[in-house]
Structures are given as C-alpha cells and as structure tokens.
Structure 1
Amino acid sequence: MAGDPPSRVTSLDVARRAGVSQSAVSRVFTPGASASKRTVEKVRKAAEELGYRPNVLARAMITGKSRIIGLVVAYLDNHFYPLAVERLSVELQRQGYHVLVFMASNTIGDVQSVMQEILDYQVDGIVLASVSMSSVLAGRCDDLGIPVVLFNRTQPDPRLASVVTDNHEGGRQIAHHLVAGGAARIGYIAGFEGASTQIEREAGFLEGLDEAGARLEFRGVGNFQHETARAAALEMFAGRDRPDAVFVCNDHMAFAVMDVLRAKLGLDVPGDVAVAGFDDVPIASWAAYDLTSFRQPLDAMVSRTVEVLMERIADDAVTPRRHTLQGELVRRSSTRPTEDRA
C-alpha cells in the first residue's frame, strides 16, 4: 500500500544479488573474517545497489561479541585527553571496533552510573582514561569477562591492566632541572589529590628535590582545573615571600599559572619565576608559553593500550599488569637554561 515503509534489505537479498552464499556476505561485513577480493567486490557492489547495511546489534546477539569498546574520559578541557581520545578511537577502529565515548567526573558514584550504561551496551572491552573505578565494578567486569584497561591512571587492583608514563621519574627529572637552574624557593601546584598521576608526580618531585639538596617550600592545589589553578597561583605568588620556581602537575594548569604570573602579577617567566609542567601538549610549544614540560609518549601509550586490550579480549587468561612507558623532559624558555641531564 502507498505510504507503507519499505521492507528491510537482508543479507539473503545481498547474497542472491551477488550470487554468493549468505555466510559469504556475513564474512565480508565481519571485521577480521576471511573473504576473497572478488567476493568482497561482488558483495559490496550488491549491498550498495540494494542499500543494505549490516545489523551490528543483531550480529552481537548471535555471536556474543558487540565489537564495541567503551571509552570513559574526564577532563576534556585538558588538551592531553582530546588527543588521546582521538588516537585511541582511530586505533580501535583500525582493529575493527566501534568506540562509544562516555563522560564522567572523578566521583565514584558518577563513574559507577556511567559504567552501568556502558555494560548495557554489552561492550567487548573498556578503556578508562583519567578516571578510576570501584572494586565492586572491577569485580563485575571481571565476572562478565570484560577486560578493563586504565589509560594514564593506575589503581591497586589485580583485575585491571594499566598503561602509564613513568610519572615518578618525570617529577624527579623536573626537580633536578629546576635546582640546576638555580631555584632556591621551590613550589608545587598539585592536581586532583586522589589521582595516581598526581600522587606519583609529586612523590618523584619530592625525591628529586631531596637528591638535589633542596626542599619544597610552597604547595597549592589546582585539582587539574584551570580556574582552581589560577586561584592557587594567586595565593602562592601574591606576597613578597614567593617561589622562584614552580612545578605544576600538568600543562593545562601550568598555562593558567603562567597567565596569572605575567598578566596579573607582572612577573617575568623565567626571570622571576621558572615554570615547568607535565604532558607536553601541543600548546606547550607555542611562543606564548614555550613551556618546559615532561612529554608523555602519547602514541606509544595508545598503541600499548590497544595492544593490551586486544590481547585480553582474545584470551581472558592473560594476566592484567601495569605497563610503564618512559617519557622525556623537553626544556624550553619557561625555565632557566642548564646543562643538567638528570
């Protein structure tokens, strides 16, 4: 009848048009499945002519595999994470997976709510970038056979794999660099106190200061947020007794600190205050900041994360473990020149 919706094109229709079996059509549209070049060409041509689109959800119900990865992220205002999300998504798509991105804050309740939504999609794996999860949720994922990889975070749970930069070593190298540049009154602006990245970077920084015969004189908390970091910088530097060098736990906050020092307080960087950050996001190299920063090996972190996830999807007997990659201190004009190579 006029106005009736068109009937849905099925894989059987495509098989008949292409002159192949229905299973051949299924193989063509299943990532990683084997099909000859000629078969692929015939099936793709028939599918295009008929307007066929494979039903991913129906296939998931049959195979038990959704080919979907859940990616949970916070702090998208921090330039490190949009880059990470983009590159993780591209690499997972190359592996034949669809990526669903979910936003969450660092509160356990919010992460738990988001995780429940992710599990409803019957995902094959989960990547948590910049957030942690409760032991209850970790156990549930483990029971369901869903591997979880923490990206740029760790937590003491043997069921969770993780991929991180050596944050401790990064903090240590920054301490040596600042002291070698003549810093005598040294400050630190922390990130979110519960984050493993914050904890490890500060621990490494304190160890490096001790090794160099210096100590931390000033401390503020920026919570990885631009405005909070600005407030912390105003409080730390407003008086006469102020640092002559400061390590800020990530670049996103370091930019806010530099803006306060120069635009609000009229201080010279690095003449009055040397500033170092962490991540080495692209903006760090811009002339406006030219920020000394400890570079996270983002491409290597993404590759290792996807590799670990694929291994665990293929074999749930693979033992989850922590993967720590080496970064690099990139010296720029926001700190005083030195000959140190610590």
Structure 2
Amino acid sequence: MDQDQADRARRARRWVTSADVARAAGVSRAAVSRAFTPGASVAPETRRRILAAAKAVGYRPNALARSLNTRRSGIVGVVITEIANPFYARLLEALGGALQARGLLPLVAVAPDPQATDDLLAHLLSYQVDGVVVASAMLSSGIAARCAAARTPVVLVDRRADAKGPQAALVGADNLGGGRLVADLLAAAGHSRPAFLAGIEATSTSDERERGFTQGLAAQGLVLAAREVGRFTYAGGLEAAQRLLARADRPDAVFCANDEMALGVIDAARTRFGLDIPRDLSVVGFDDTPSAGLAAYRLTTVAQDVAALAQAAVAALEDPAASPRRAAPQWRIPCRLVLRRSARLPEGTVPAD
C-alpha cells in the first residue's frame, strides 16, 4: 500500500476535521472556519483553495459544533397536521423550499390532530430550533408561554392561537374576504337557498370563511338556508351532503370550507340524489387543490397563494415582531375566485376551463 492509499485508509477510520483541511490547503484553521462562515472575510483565492481541499479530504462542517458558538442551530421546527390534505402537502413543500432558500433546515413533526401539538413543540424546543412554524394545528397558551420564555419566535400558518397568554405571529389567507367573494358569486347567479359546510368546529379558518360568507349574504339580503359540518375530509363531505340534500327545503348551493369536502358533496349529489351540477346544485370549495381542476369536478373554488403564504411565514420568523414577547403581527394574503363549472355563473361570465 503506497502512502496516498494509507492516508485515505486512515481518514476513513476517523472524522475529517478542519485541521485536515488547513493542512491540505496550507492555511490556518481560522481561515478554514472563515471560508465556511457566510459573510466572513476571506480572500477569493484562499476560499477557492480551502473548498477544493475540503472536497479532496471529504470534509463537511459540523453544524452542531458551530451552533454552540453562534447560538443558532440553523434549524426551524415545522409542526403540521392534516398531512393527507393536498393543500397542506403543498404548503409543507413550499415552506421547506422557502426555508432552505435562506440556508435553514426544516425539522418536520406531524401532529395526529390539530390539538396534539404541545408535546411536539416541547420536543422541538429541545433541539434548540431557531424558530417554529405551526401549520394547520392549534397552539395552546401554555406552549406559547414556553416558546416566549425560550425566546423562540413562533409563526402560525392557517390557524389562530387561543386568546389566552402570549400570541404568536399569524400568516393566513384572507378567509373573510374569500367567504364574501363566494356570497357575491352565488347571489349574482340567482341563488336563494345557500348552505355552508363547515370543517372542524372552532377552527379559525372554517369560522372565518363562514363569517365572511354570512356577512356577504346579509349584504345581498340573503341568509343561510342550512349548515352542516364535514371535518375537512372527503368522507365528511359525503356524509354531510346526505343530510343537506335529504332536506325537504334542499339548498340550491353549498359553499364548503375546503375542496376535499366539496368533492364529496359533488359525488353524493350526483350518485345518491341524481342531481345535475350545477343546474340543480352549485358547489363551491376553498383552496384550489389539484383535484379541483379535474375534469370530473371542475370545481369553482377560492384559491390561496401557497407560495406567498410560505414566503410570508419565513419572513415573519426573521421579523423581531414575531417574538412571542411582543404584540403579535398578522400577515393576510389575498384570495381569488377560480370560476369553473361546478357553480352557476352570472350571465356573461366565462369559466376558466
């Protein structure tokens, strides 16, 4: 075995350190440290030589060791639930991309239900995360206080915290405005018996969409003809539609708090009641998930800008006002209607598809 082979075999048996890089590049260990520190001062040629040497010896900076010096881990905890919901899968992808674009690593924890976040957040805090994004899950006042004590910024996406204790920053769609858009559409199309299908009771997204819808109806001289709960799921939409459409005073339109429930309503209306969509019943959803555009549904829906939500959430983490010790700022992202063929449209309006 020649000397080069012996050196490679020795390196394979132990961790490669910055001292190995410094030796290979002919520089000090301090220069190696600067070369791997964003924004640190080091001559371009020296940096190039150090990076080439690091590649040759198989060196990777130890992020955990660096965090002891900088007091920043470069890790952001992300707590999410309803992961089977296509909207939240898209949101998680967008959050991951936005964090990584800023050199941050997402550490994802999946909550089994919106209320089961406290233990997960406590666990994430033990990893010395630089911040926490909570998506589609609830945040109790107790865990909010723990985050505040740890000086860990918290941003809620698509949910509000409870009203007690420290409040987290909030990033969400303009749910109230989205509900009003739907009310205006249904009124303009001549509907007189609109119904609302809620998601999970007491969740801020469903509550706000319903409130915006009822306010919009009132402005048009209309009231809700019926209301049901579908738990934000396709199966829940099927079951709720069975109850709604079996009524003697059956509604002529249903606004669903998300697309998954709306798809269930459409399928139930067609297969169990023989209704034509939209001649006999208009159905409108919320989120504009990929399934909404399928030819079988062509769902009219309220679109959220997922990329904008993710970018705003990451920006909020970096805003000093996002600290739980301060007044909780809010970022509201505008929504837009996507007009397809599941709802009657005002005369002269052309659907998107």
Distance in 1 (alpha carbons) for counterparts of 2:322 and 2:346: 49
Query: What residue in structure 2 maps to residue 181 of structure 1?
Result: 189
Query: What residue in structure 2 maps to residue 264 of structure 1?
Result: 272
Query: What residue in structure 1 maps to residue 138 of structure 2?
Result: 132
Query: What residue in structure 1 maps to residue 221 of structure 2?
Result: 213
Q: Does 1:325 align with 2:333?
A: yes
Q: Does 1:21 align with 2:36?
A: no
Write out per-residue CA displacement over residues 81-101 of structure 1, whole angstroms, 9 at most, x where no aligned residue: 111111111111111111111
Asked if the contact 2:197–2:254 (Cα under 8 Å) also holds between the matched residues in 1, the reply is yes
Query: What residue in structure 2 maps to residue 115 of structure 1?
Result: 121
3-state SS of 2:319 partner = helix
Asked if the contact 2:316–2:322 (Cα under 8 Å) also holds between the matched residues in 1, the reply is no
Match among 96, 108, 112 for residue 105 of structure 1: 112
Alignment of 1:299-338 (within 5 A): 299-312=307-320, 319-338=327-346
Asked if the contact 1:74–1:131 (Cα under 8 Å) also holds between the matched residues in 2, the reply is yes
> What TM-score, normalized to structure 2?
0.89
| Equivalent position amino acid for 1:218 in 2 | A
Query: Where do 5+ consecutive residues of structure 2 fail to align?
Result: 1-8
Give the CA deviation at 1:313.
Answer: 9.4
| CA RMSD across the alignment | 2.5
**Aligned CA distance change for structure 1 residues 259 and 39 (closer, same or farther; 3 Å):** farther
Runs of 4 or more consecutive aligned structure 1 residues displaced over 6 Å after TM superposition: 2-5, 313-318
Give the CA deviation at 1:319.
Answer: 4.8
- Stretch deviating more after TM superposition (134-143 or 153-162): 153-162
Query: What residue in structure 1 maps to residue 233 of structure 2?
Result: 225
Query: What residue in structure 1 maps to residue 55 of structure 2?
Result: 48
Alignment of 1:278-289 (within 5 A): 278-289=286-297
**Aligned CA distance change for structure 1 residues 47 and 105 (closer, same or farther; 3 Å):** same
Distance in 2 (alpha carbons) for counterparts of 1:277 and 1:303: 24
Query: What residue in structure 2 maps to residue 191 of structure 1?
Result: 199
Distance in 2 (alpha carbons) for counterparts of 1:315 and 1:204: 29
Q: Does 1:298 align with 2:309?
A: no
Give the CA deviation at 1:28.
Answer: 3.3
Match among 91, 94, 102 for residue 98 of structure 2: 91
Write out per-residue CA displacement over residues 274-326 of structure 1, whole angstroms, 9 at most, x where no aligned residue: 00011112322222211111111222211111111122399898753011121
Distance in 1 (alpha carbons) for counterparts of 2:100 and 2:31: 22
Distance in 2 (alpha carbons) for counterparts of 1:197 and 1:36: 52
Query: What residue in structure 2 maps to residue 81 of structure 1?
Result: 88
Asked if the contact 1:31–1:96 (Cα under 8 Å) also holds between the matched residues in 2, the reply is no
**Aligned CA distance change for structure 1 residues 75 and 216 (closer, same or farther; 3 Å):** same
Asked if the contact 1:243–1:273 (Cα under 8 Å) also holds between the matched residues in 2, the reply is yes
Query: What residue in structure 2 maps to residue 160 of structure 1?
Result: 168
Give the CA deviation at 1:265.
Answer: 2.7
Distance in 1 (alpha carbons) for counterparts of 2:59 and 2:42: 18
Query: What residue in structure 1 maps to residue 4 of structure 2?
Result: none
> What TM-score, normalized to structure 1?
0.92
3-state SS of 1:323 partner = strand
**Aligned CA distance change for structure 1 residues 34 and 336 (closer, same or farther; 3 Å):** farther
Distance in 2 (alpha carbons) for counterparts of 1:292 and 1:73: 27
Distance in 1 (alpha carbons) for counterparts of 2:97 and 2:41: 22
Distance in 1 (alpha carbons) for counterparts of 2:327 and 2:48: 40
Give the CA deviation at 1:33.
Answer: 4.4
Give the CA deviation at 1:228.
Answer: 1.8
Q: Does 1:145 align with 2:136?
A: no
Larger Rg over CA atoms: 2
Instruction: Give the paired residue count.
Output: 340
| Equivalent position amino acid for 2:141 in 1 | S
Asked if the contact 2:141–2:166 (Cα under 8 Å) also holds between the matched residues in 1, the reply is no
Query: What residue in structure 2 maps to residue 247 of structure 1?
Result: 255
- Stretch deviating more after TM superposition (13-22 or 82-91): 13-22
| Equivalent position amino acid for 2:309 in 1 | M
